[in-house]
Amino acid sequence: MGQAVVVLKKGEGRTLKAGGMWVYDNEIASVTGSYEDGDMVVVRDFDGYPMGRGFINRHSKIRVRLMTRQVDQEIDRSFLRERLQAAWDYRKKVTDVSSCRLVFGEADFLPGLVVDKFSDVLVVQVTALGMDRMKLDIVDLLKKILLEDGITVRGVYERSDGKYRDQEGMERVKDFIGEPFDTNVPIIENGVRYIVDVKDGQKTGFFLDQKYNRLAMQRICKGKKVLDCFTHMGTFALNAGIAGAAEVTGLDISEYAVEQARENARRNGLEDTVQFRCANVLDELPKLAQSGEQYDVVILDPPAFTKSRQATKNAIKGYREINMKGLKLVKDGGYLATCSCSHFMTQELLEKTVKEAAKATHRRLRQVEFRTQAPDHPILWANSANVPESYYLKFFIFQVVDER
């Protein structure tokens, strides 16, 4: 098993030692032996202690992504089969697998790989060169694993079209893997019917991570007047509608998303109850408040205001502003659901920001529930706050009351 050896600088590899799977470019003292980008290498500490095996890429700041802690472990089809089988077995235990995240990168010990299952279609996203080399084997193995449970995969689509590929020195890819098929895929989640556009929808086509948070809102929205902000495909709004909400309004800045949401409302026979409008939420909420509108339930599911640690300060302002605007529209005794999908907006930071928004609007909050991402997006714990964890979605449900 001749391969290059990466040796860490003394005192480096903190992420790795804390349970992470990444080695950064500035942590490496030397690389001995010949290799090409994407090859497997052995990683050793400064004193020769074996840290594991992973794939290397000189184009990436994340120079090595670890596949195993065992330096003698061969990374072959049987290794991949074992990891993929474990990922599928876990999902079968913890979630509804009709549509689910089948592989969640580092949290499934398969760095740089995301696979979503929408009914009988798989959507693959590859963010690392070494994993890209194994892509066809992975797809073939997943088809075989699913077939053993009676699931025939109708088609596979690759959505490796984000800017993260540029940072890895890789071309962006958006194409079929294998035979073409209809990329508008019908799914049912929480009793709601959707068409998922796996070719042109956001990311892989649908946000599966909020599945059970949407379900949690159903009981709260029954018989209520609901405002769903940043509605995207109308997911929270439609869960409210299917649960028997009296009246639901969904807002989103994207005309394409609003059209999809309207089509999904028609698909569920909810077009009379659930209405969608194309609007900039930050501009629209003050207008609604000015016109005297009040809601029993306001749902805030904004995009990530920050994707880096440096931008967190501005993001806090954004989250504070949107929560203040949302709180002003909730009736006394009504409910606010608010969340953040940014890894850098920690639970503590979000709590602090929402508290500040409540104080500024003279509202009191009673926490009903705190939730995170669905279990098919497992949170892999690490021993340090510096490890890029898989924990990113924070979701609060509050009852909102006037100060008494």
The per-residue pLDDT for 308 is 62
Domain with CATH 3.30.750.80 in the chain: 77-187
Contacts of 93 (CB under 8 A, 6+ apart): none
**Per-residue buried b or exposed e for 190-201, using 16+ beta carbons within 10 Å of the residue's own CB:** bebbbbbbbbeb
Residue 16 tokens read as 């790795």
* CA gap 380, 20 in Å, rounded: 9
| CATH superfamily, domain at 77-187 | RNA methyltransferase domain (HRMD) like (3.30.750.80)
pLDDT at residue number 201: 86
What's the residue count for the chain?
404
What is 207-402's CATH number, 3.40.50.150, 3.90.79.10, 3.40.50.410, 3.40.50.620? 3.40.50.150
| Res 2: pLDDT | 62
Say if residues 65 and 127 touch (Cβ distance below 8 Å): no
> Of the listed 100, 221, 229, 341, which one is catalytic?
341
E-strand spans in 144-293?
155-160, 173-176, 184-189, 192-197, 225-229, 247-252, 274-278
Per-residue pLDDT, 390? 86
Strands (DSSP E) contained in 240-362 are 247-252, 274-278, 295-300, 330-340
Rounded CA gap, 340 and 392, in Å? Answer: 8
pLDDT at 387: 58
pLDDT digits 0-9 by tens, 383-404: 655 555 688 999 999 999 997 7
Residue of 187, 200, 190, 192 lying closest to 154 (CA atoms): 187
What's residue 127's pLDDT? 95
Question: CATH 2.30.130.10 occupies which residues in the chain?
Answer: 5-68
pLDDT at 305: 72
* Averaged pLDDT score across all residues of the chain: 94
Residue at 171: amino acid letter: E
Question: What does pTM read for this prediction?
Answer: 0.93
Residue with tokens 């495909």: 233
Q: Which of 300, 292, 281, 365 lies closest to 329 in space, CA to CA?
A: 292
Q: Among this protein's residues, is 229 annotated catalytic? A: no
CATH 3.40.50.150 residue window(s) in the chain: 207-402
Domain spanning 5-68: CATH superfamily:
PUA domain (2.30.130.10)
Q: Residue 182 is encoded by which pair of tokens?
A: 């209809």
Cα(226)–Cα(400) distance, integer angstroms: 14
pLDDT values of the chain reduced to their tens digit, one per residue, 404 residues: 468 999 999 999 988 998 899 999 999 999 999 999 999 999 999 999 999 999 999 999 999 999 999 999 999 999 999 999 999 999 999 999 999 999 999 999 999 999 999 999 999 999 999 999 999 999 999 999 999 999 999 999 999 998 989 989 999 999 999 999 999 999 999 999 999 999 998 888 899 999 999 999 999 999 999 999 999 999 999 999 999 999 999 999 999 999 999 999 999 999 999 999 999 999 999 999 999 999 999 999 998 776 666 667 778 888 999 999 999 999 999 999 999 998 888 899 999 999 999 999 999 999 999 999 999 999 998 865 555 568 899 999 999 999 77
Q: What's CA 299's distance to the chain center, in Å?
A: 18
User: 377 — alpha (psi -120 to 50), left (phi > 0) or beta?
Assistant: beta
